[in-house]
Amino acid sequence: MHYQDAYIKTFQGLPHAIQVERDKLNKYGPPLLGCTIKPKLELSAKSYDRVVYECLRGILDFTKDDENVNSQSFMRCRDHFLFYGEAIYKVQAETGFTVNTSLAHYCRDNGLLLHIHHAMHAVIDRQKNHDMHFRVLAKALHFSAGDHVHSGTVVGQLEGEREIALGFVDLLCDDFIEKDRSRGVLPIASGGIHIWHLPSLTEIFGDDFVLQFGRGTLEHPWGNAPSVVAN
């Protein structure tokens, strides 16, 4: 799929992109480290956000709510939002780091990063006889000004063909017009990966990507914060 330059220039572009995100986090060289909170369901708002606090206190770069997390009887959205904010500001006060996410314009206006998860990926584009390809979605997600977009891992649970995954990465890391990879989107390796996959992942993706460990962070026998340090 090809877009005309005149059409592309009507989009604002990325609010932050790779280089600005590294500048904000003051983290250069290695991949960024994130985590999807587990278990996704049945934790109370206070318990869930205690896990968030422990992970961020262990110096994760960010945490992520999965698509299943919404307003349910055991964790109402408002309670979750308030406890989440409390956890973030507590960690910020203790460490100096800020972690958050919201919609693209809100992110741009308030200096926040936008993380885009690929929910429905298995239904929409993973079937080989389907008429949709993730490369098309990746272009659209690039236009939507996401700083992170899930790309698959090649190894681990969300593995895929190496050449296809690297094609996504090249596309995501490109700017709209000028070929400056520092203005690109950070691909995310997420799904069934752990620390032993790190050599393969860095060999595949290089340095400019996000390592997102879920169980790899939250199943450590010493707790969440020590697990983050170990990773």
Q: Which of 124-133, 156-165, 200-209 has the highest mean pLDDT?
A: 200-209
Query: pLDDT-derived band of residue 56, with 50, 70 and 90 as boundaries?
Result: confident
d(CA 171, CA 133): 13
Query: pLDDT-derived band of residue 177, with 50, 70 and 90 as boundaries?
Result: very low
- Quote the tokens at residue 68: 């299943």
Residue 123: per-residue pLDDT:
58
d(CA 209, CA 149): 10
List 38, 90, 133, 194, catalytic entry: 38
Query: pLDDT-derived band of residue 139, with 50, 70 and 90 as boundaries?
Result: confident
Q: Is 117 marked active-site?
A: yes
Q: What are residue 149's DSSP bridge partners? A: 116, 187
Phi, psi of 157 (to 5 degrees): -65, -45
Q: Is 220 marked active-site?
A: no
For residue 167, give the nearest of 138, 143, 144 by alpha carbon. Answer: 138
Residue 182 has pLDDT above 60, yes or no: no
Residue 183 has pLDDT above 70, yes or no: no
Residue 196: per-residue pLDDT:
81
d(CA 33, CA 210): 6
Return mean pLDDT, the chain: 74
Residue 101: per-residue pLDDT:
36
List 16, 64, 115, 117, catalytic entry: 117
Residue 100: per-residue pLDDT:
36
For residue 172, give the nearest of 127, 134, 124, 129 by alpha carbon. Answer: 134
Q: Could you give the domains of the chain?
A: 5-211 (3.20.20.110)
Query: pLDDT-derived band of residue 83, with 50, 70 and 90 as boundaries?
Result: confident
Residue 20 has pLDDT above 70, yes or no: yes
